[in-house]
Amino acid sequence: MKIAVGMSGGVDSTACALLMSRVGHEVIGITLRFHKICDGERVCCSPQDVKDASRVANLLGISHLVIDWEELFRQRVVDRFLGFSSRGKTLNPCAVCNRDVKTGFLARYLRDVAMIDRLATGHYARIVDFKSFRVIARAKDRAKDQSYFLALLRAEDIELLEFPLGDMTKDEIRELLRSEGIDIWDKRDSQDVCFFMGKSLSEYLEENIGAIEGELVFENRVLARHSSIFSLTIGQRKGLGVAFGEALYVKEIDPCAKRVLLSKKEELYKSEIELESLSLHLPISQWGKVFAQVRYRGELSEVEDIIQTNGGTLVRFKKPVWAPAPGQVCAFYEGDVLLGGGIIAR
């Protein structure tokens, strides 16, 4: 088969390229350049990462192409993230990027323009057969599992994808590269959102959409003011600067009114949420006992019902879930199998 490998210059994508080459496929390395200038030392897809990817591809003896998608990335991920933030919502940019730029969209693009059979990436996830469907499942290394960030992919995208690292741990992957003499085997993982360029969320938002100072309100009482309410998120407790006798959490953010409503913890449990942009990896009629995950590292909650409405998709839970935040992803699972997901609208 003709396999494209997404190469970011990091440990995981390098191991992915190595494994695909070993199998005997015709392999071509593809690196997406999102940032021409990068000040952060640990930012994914930095200019240095592009150089590392090119050097490793040469070492592996595979061809390598760099695609400049800085503008596409800005339009489909960065601008959308900023738009959500300006409305007091916390969009998950990595899940959107996987759908609209570097995984799902890239696979379809390469199929159409380069006639590739599959796109292999270094995601910690697995491709499995489930009820006669080709679907995504959690990785062997649960601490590194990235299936949650793949929930928005289209079902047709999964037909074009391979995740060769899904049955390996991070330690095994580093040892594989070390044993092959590939010198980036101990390269540090990138952290945080790549386009923050090493800045904190509040620093990035203040630089790009400004800072709105707002009141922090609890039971109609103004307890404090916050210098940048855009940087807050539903369920946040730390960093509020509120002196109160018990823990208070962000319940609602209203940038127009310049107010943030606070509440006690029990008020943030919700029995239902509404989703937009729902993606189904297999039809709901094929779903069995379903659990939902409404934030990365969040607990699984059993789903009672899923109802299609004119405005989106209503999800009801058997027990209330903690602090679902508009903009975050709700991913559905049956056992280890990812069934799909959507973006929380309310």
* Residue positions annotated with a catalytic role: 97, 194
Phi-psi region of 323 (alpha: psi -120 to 50; beta: other; left: phi over 0): left
Q: Which of 219, 242, 205, 225 is nearest to 88 (CA)?
A: 205
> What is the rounded distance in angstroms from the CA atom of residue 233 to the CA atom of residue 296?
14
Interatomic CA distance for residues 139 and 168, integer angstroms: 8
Candidates 31, 23, 95; CA nearest to 63 is: 31
Q: What distance in Å separates the CA atoms of residue 121 and residue 308, rounded to the nearest whole number?
A: 33
H helices of the chain, in order, are 11-23, 47-60, 70-73, 79-86, 93-97, 104-114, 155-158, 170-179, 201-209
Q: First and final CA of the chain: distance in angstroms?
A: 44
Which of 289, 328, 322, 323 shows the shortest CA–CA distance to 306?
289
How many CB atoms lie under 10 A from the CB of residue 280?
16
